Amino acid sequence: MESLRLEPIRKVQGEVVLPGSKSLSNRILLLAALCQGTTKVTNLLDSDDIRHMLGALALMGVEVELNEDKTQALVHGQGGKLTTPPESLFLGNAGTAYRPLTAVLAATQGEFELSGEPRMEERPIGHLVDALRALGADIDYLKTQDYPPLAIKGKTLAGGEVSIDGSISSQFLTALLMAAPLFSGDTNISIKGELVSKPYIDITLGVMRKFGVEVSNNNYQSFHVKGGQQYVSPGEIMVEGDASSASYFIAAAAINGGEITIHGVGKASVQGDIGFAKVMEQVGADIDWYDDKLVVRKGQLMGVDIDANAIPDAAMTLATVALFAKGKTAIRNIYNWRVKETDRLYAMATELKKLGAEVVEGHDYIEITPPLHLADVAIDTYNDHRIAMCFSMVAVGGWPVTINDPGCTAKTFPTYFDTLASVSCS
């Protein structure tokens, strides 16, 4: 479908069961493939990013049995051995596949080429490659220095002392951490620059722990990983609901509930994006917290001024909540929005301005002051699932809107617009 017309939604109400977390799904699949033993993964996300990880694993000889709706997988671990794939591993625009595979394959015997969509070739990976090369990895840039695609000649890496720049993406450190137990000796990793998106490191360390590997860390400034370790299957593991995907329903209920019960994340969540619910309480949402669900109702919404470095994905939703909050909303410390699916700072500013909002696009922040009336426009989505999803808040807030290329939500949430319709009262 070229575009989706959303008419004003009178109220949102009902129950949502979240799909599994993208971040957890791809980490779990990779470690389940590497470990010793078979792992049953439940509540797996079925979306493009996961499909790319599964496709790559299949090409490297990993046997994965999926159930019919692809939310359960039986992964037969290879005990650290992967085979040289017959072709380039095409990883779409999935950062959670591309970055960890780069590090793991650098330490795996075999020859690998990692490619992706055109946008992936514009997303930097130099900080990770620099760190891996410093450890002796053999990695070449096939087109442009510091960017995918890559050619990797995997080999035994001995570990040692290494520093990694954490200022652009936490996924580089995640990748190094996941690969380090496979090195023959111990690795001490120190962080250069400010480490962004820190809560994703907790997700990484938590998943590694489930697969039997403990990493010690000193205040996220240095990490010690023992070498020569084998990941061990936990037997069965459930993927928690996606906290970033929850943000759209938390926001919708806060703008125009009714009441929405969101199943799959709650106060026991391991994902940093649960922090968005706390931000929304500050904005004015009325939220009841349970271990693995949230009940969210409408509130008097007020603009806030927040540092969103820890919740870069969910913070995009706040940018459209801002259209319905009193006064100005400022979202700060989000420079790396510029190197994700698109330049998200530019894209969000451009589309919010089209609706009539007053927007300041800073180098690493955005400020939004809502207009009295929203213009009826078509929102361009820049092949960015989160732009498509967060601009549906315009209809939730009672204004018509057209979303161009709504199918781009397939990256993490293929059924998003159906799920929104299921809680929409016209």
Ligand X SMILES: O=C(O)C1=C[C@@H](OP(=O)(O)O)[C@@H](O)[C@H](O)C1
Residues of this chain that bind ligand PEP (CB under 6 A) = 93-96, 313, 340-341, 386, 412
Which of ligand X, ligand PEP, none sits in contact with 386, Cβ below 5 to 8 A by type? ligand PEP
Phi, psi of 171 (to 5 degrees): -65, -25
Confirm if 146 and 126 have CB atoms less than 8 A apart: yes
Tokens of 144: 């442009």
Q: Is-contact 339 99, C-beta < 8 A?
A: no
Angle formed at CA 8 by CA 6 and CA 13, multiple of 5 degrees: 100
Ligand-binding site membership of 338 (annotated): no
Does the annotation flag 218 for ligand binding? no
Q: Cα 28–269–67 angle (5° rounding)?
A: 40
**Shortest CB 123 distance to ligand X, Å:** 9
Question: Which is closer to ligand PEP, CB of 20 or CB of 95?
Answer: 95
Cβ neighbour number for residue 268 with a 10 Å cutoff: 11
C-beta nearest to ligand PEP: residue: 95
For 34, the 3-state DSSP assignment is helix
Q: How far is the CB of 392 from ligand PEP (least distance, A)?
A: 16
Q: Which does 412 bind (CB under 5 to 8 A by kind): ligand PEP, ligand X, none?
A: ligand PEP
What is the contact surface with ligand X in residues (CB under 6 A)?
A: 23, 95-96, 169-171, 174, 196-197, 200, 312-313, 336
Query: Is 123 marked within a binding site?
Result: yes
The SS3 of residue 51 is helix
Is residue 119 part of an annotated ligand binding site? Answer: no
Q: Name which of 253 and 410 has its Cβ closer to ligand PEP.
A: 410
Min CB(95)–ligand PEP separation in Å: 3
Q: How far is the CB of 127 from ligand X (least distance, A)?
A: 11
Residue 94's binding partner among ligand X, ligand PEP, none (Cβ under 5 to 8 angstroms by kind) is ligand PEP
Cβ contact 180:187 at 8 Å: yes
Q: Active-site residue 202, yes or no? A: no
**Rounded Cα distance, 380 and 86, in Å:** 37
- Of the two residues 196 and 321, which places its CB atom closer to ligand X in the complex? 196
Choose among 217, 206, 123: nearest CA to 172.
123
The answer to the question of whether 411 is labelled as a binding residue is yes
Task: Considering the complex, state which of residue 240 and residue 341 has its C-beta at the smaller distance from ligand PEP.
Answer: 341
40 is in an annotated binding site: no
Rounded distance, CA 107 to CA 114, Å? 15
Judge whether 323 and 281 are in contact, CB under 8 Å.
Answer: no
Minimum CB–partner distance for residue 160 and ligand PEP (Å): 28
Beta carbons within 8 Å of 187's beta carbon, 6+ residues apart: 135, 159, 160, 161, 162, 176, 180, 224, 225, 227
**Cα separation, 238 vs 73, whole angstroms:** 10
Query: Is 130 annotated as ligand-binding?
Result: no
At 145, give phi and psi (nearest 5°): -55, 135
Residue 399 or 417 having the CB closest to ligand PEP: 417
Nearest to ligand X of 4, 175 (CB atom): 175
Tell me whether residue 143 is annotated as binding. Answer: no
184 annotated to bind ligand:
no
The catalytic residue among 48, 165, 273, 313 is: 313
Q: At its nearest, how many Å lie between ligand PEP and the CB of residue 348?
A: 12
CA angle 219, 224, 227 (to 5 degrees): 160
Give me the least distance between CB of 341 and ligand PEP, in Å please.
6
Residue 273 interacting entry, from ligand X, ligand PEP, none, C-beta within 5 to 8 Å by type: none
Residue 200 binding target from ligand X, ligand PEP, none, CB below 5 to 8 Å by type: ligand X
* DSSP codes, 142-200: SSSTTSS-EEEEE-----EEEEEE-SS-THHHHHHHHHGGGSSS-EEEEEESPPPSTHH
Q: In the numeric block, which tokens belong to residue 371?
A: 């207009």
Contacts of 352 (CB under 8 A, 6+ apart): 319, 320, 322, 323, 359, 368
Considering beta carbons, is residue 172 or 417 the nearer one to ligand X?
Answer: 172
Binding at 117: pick from ligand PEP, ligand X, none (beta carbon under 5-8 Å per type): none
Q: Which does 19 bind (CB under 5 to 8 A by kind): ligand PEP, ligand X, none?
A: none
* Residues that constitute the known binding site for 3-phosphoshikimate: 22-23, 27, 169-171, 197, 313, 336, 340
* Residues that constitute the known binding site for phosphoenolpyruvate: 22, 95, 123, 171, 344, 386, 411
- Positions marked active-site: 313
